[in-house]
Amino acid sequence: MAKKTDCRVCELRTRCLRNLASPARTVFKVERRSVQDSFSRKMIRKVGSELGRFLYGMRLGIAEPVFTNLRHMIGLDRFTLRGAGKVSIQWRLYAVVHNIHKVHRFGLAGAG
């Protein structure tokens, strides 16, 4: 939102105003982000670099199996509660279940 006088010096004036002589203004949405700066393109560049491939490869071996286990083995396809607080609690409970399962499977094996 701007004052009418601000339009006099704006470089986007010809794109916003249909009739330059008219005192009434027509709002025109201008996309500032170019196609090259989209999040998808940034991620492609990031993962496409040598360091990005190395770091993403590490993530595949460390973080992704946890999400796969939660989704397929424990059944967390979607949250059943609404609201950030309740979803946070539900996520923590699933994380506790996942960690207890890991302790049961791997922690007790070396104790015997």
Q: Are residues 107 and 82 in the same domain?
A: yes
**Residue 11, pLDDT score:** 75
In a domain, 20, yes or no: no
Q: Which domain holds residue 106?
A: 78-112
Q: Are residues 89 and 68 in the same domain?
A: no
- DSSP for 51-96, please give it: HHHHHHHHHHHHTHHHHHIIIIIS--SS-SS-SHHHHHHHHHHHHH
In a domain, 9, yes or no: no
**Residue 29, pLDDT score:** 60
**Residue 69, pLDDT score:** 82
**Residue 92, pLDDT score:** 92
Give me the sign of the Cα torsion angle 48, 52, 57, 63.
negative
pTM, 2 dp:
0.44
Number of structural domains in the chain: 2
Report which residue type is found at 26: T
Q: Are residues 51 and 73 in the same domain?
A: yes
Q: Are residues 64 and 83 in the same domain?
A: no
**Residue 31, pLDDT score:** 62
* pLDDT tens, residue order, the chain (112 aa): 556 677 777 776 666 666 666 666 665 565 666 655 778 888 888 888 889 888 888 887 777 788 888 888 888 888 888 999 999 999 899 889 888 888 888 876 555 5
